A and B are shown apart, each in its own frame.
Chain A
């Protein structure tokens, strides 16, 4: 069955398009919206978006694949994104990644079988003064240590969203 954009999505999309003199400028905000609904940007979603904005599919796909925040496959419920750039590296980011790989039994770019966690190593998140830093979905967790990381993982596993500190 062909993928259809929901009416709710279309209403929101029209509002976003109205921010710009050209509708296609809303492409990136709309890709964010697609991802918010499904957890990733699916091929069919991009196709529907191309039709909605009257753009060639190639333009939508080119943009979706250029920007790293768009997941091309379903991500876990919690997307753990560990910064590995210079300040976080010096503060022990590699150790955190190692800990997560061991605790979750997955490598970067993979999702646990239960669909709970996706692990990624990402570049500078712009919070270097409180390195090392990890994002869980859109939220920042800063000044991390191995112990803090264990607590966050345990809480997430038990359906409790940890406080950001």
Chain B
């Protein structure tokens, strides 16, 4: 199948245009905004940042009669450990994002768009600014786009190192110049978002899929992939495989095919032990579970995990699961914004408990404490960061309990795994 998103040699505007780029924008500007939203709904395109919320439905939440400005925000704060797809997409195909944003903005009636890009991606931010300037010079962005009377301007905005800003309301806070602390919902951003105005926030990969949907139709896109999981997805594979990297594949591809056909299998001497299928926040799968699973929203949910951002973290037998969980706990503890007690205290408590295991100070009862602290965090906070800590903890403890018990019995990582 031909790639929709990850294409080679289309990074420059001339090459992108020669490849048929910006024709979908022209087509879209001849349609009614409501018809574009219908087409995107029909495509079953779902949010690629992790939550998987239907994109067309999200756009339709913008009140039709809303007065004043509306905003479109692109979430390029790629921070979920294991995720590196948007970086690749921004480098290889920045104009698909810019064109997708222009179409989305027209559909929701937004005059301004912001691309919130993580601070560490300084090179990609610079590349984006150049791409936006090139699109502006050609009249695809700016005033009276292609003579349609529609005005739309894009600004890039760099973050400054905070995982939490990938959560959409924390991102809005950060974009307004505050600490990235998630907002209570409702009101949802579609009603009261950036600067108090109706706002749609979509991931880079979601927006970049829009031009192809407008060009070839929602039905065409919906037929790709598997069932309710339509279209292609960027899977980013890390860990001890022969060819780690970003692969664009139809949703519903099996993990086995991704591992063997795309990534060339496990590295010599490495045996598959476990997989975090959608980033560090998603429940872990054992090797057996992973080898039987299809990578789409429904199949992964049925297997007790999530598609998340498509970050497939492959873990081999040489790794100690307790140590890996400690690495994650240190991260979530560091990144908790601190406003909800279950998250602020829970992440810290889990981090401390895991250090106890790693330093040989743990007792068997600490395993249950670990699990119950995580259970107490689930669903009790403003944003899902607490869940993102709790889910790996609960699944690691459930599926690899023997390693925790070995640590509690005084064994080292090398002996426990």
Contacts and interface: CB of A to CB of B under 8 A. Distances in A.
Given A27-B177, A129-B238, A69 B244 contact: no
Interface stretch (A6-14, A80-88, A107-115, A151-159): A80-88
A89 interface: yes
A143 to B, nearest CB: 10
Given A127-B87, A129-B236, A129-B246, A135 B324 contact: no
A131 B316 CA distance: 15
Interface in A82-130: 84-87, 89-90, 122-130
Nearest to B276: A86
Nearest to A121: B330
A28 B174 contact: yes
Interface stretch (B51-59, B120-128, B142-150, B345-353): B120-128
A28 B116 CA distance: 12
Interface in B40-80: 69, 78-80
Contacts of A165: none
A125 B122 CA distance: 12
Nearest to B112: A21
B313 interface: yes
A86 B328 contact: yes
A62 B337 CA distance: 12
A128 B177 contact: no
Contacts of B236: 128-129
Interface stretch (B24-32, B160-168, B223-231, B358-366): B160-168
A90 B317 CA distance: 11
Contacts of A20: 155, 195
Contact of B179 (A26, A32, A62, A139): A62
B157 A123 contact: no
B83 A126 contact: yes
A122 B79 CA distance: 12
Contacts of B217: none
Given A126-B79, A128-B82, A25 B177 contact: yes
A31 interface: yes
Given A32-B158, A129-B236, A85 B81 contact: yes
A29 B79 contact: no
Contact of B119 (A67, A130, A140): A67
B194 to A, nearest CB: 9
A59 B173 CA distance: 13
B27 to A, nearest CB: 29
B298 interface: no
B238 A128 contact: yes
A69 B160 contact: yes
Contacts of B120: 69, 125-126, 135, 138
Contact of B161 (A59, A69, A85): A69
B354 to A, nearest CB: 13
A19 B379 CA distance: 37
Interface in B190-212: 195
Contacts of B331: 85, 123-124
A165 to B, nearest CB: 14
Nearest to B163: A123
> Across chains A and B, which 6 residue pairs bring their CB atoms closest together, nearest first?
A67-B160, A27-B177, A69-B161, A128-B238, A68-B161, A87-B238
Given A86-B81, A126-B78, 17 more contacts: A22-B176, A22-B195, A25-B195, A28-B157, A28-B158, A28-B159, A63-B178, A69-B160, A90-B319, A123-B335, A124-B82, A124-B331, A125-B120, A127-B87, A129-B236, A129-B245, A131-B238
17 contacts: A19-B157, A25-B195, A32-B119, A59-B178, A63-B177, A67-B160, A85-B280, A86-B276, A86-B313, A123-B163, A123-B331, A123-B334, A124-B81, A125-B120, A128-B313, A130-B244, A138-B123
Interface of A: 19-22, 24-29, 31-32, 59, 62-63, 66-70, 84-87, 89-90, 122-131, 135, 138-140
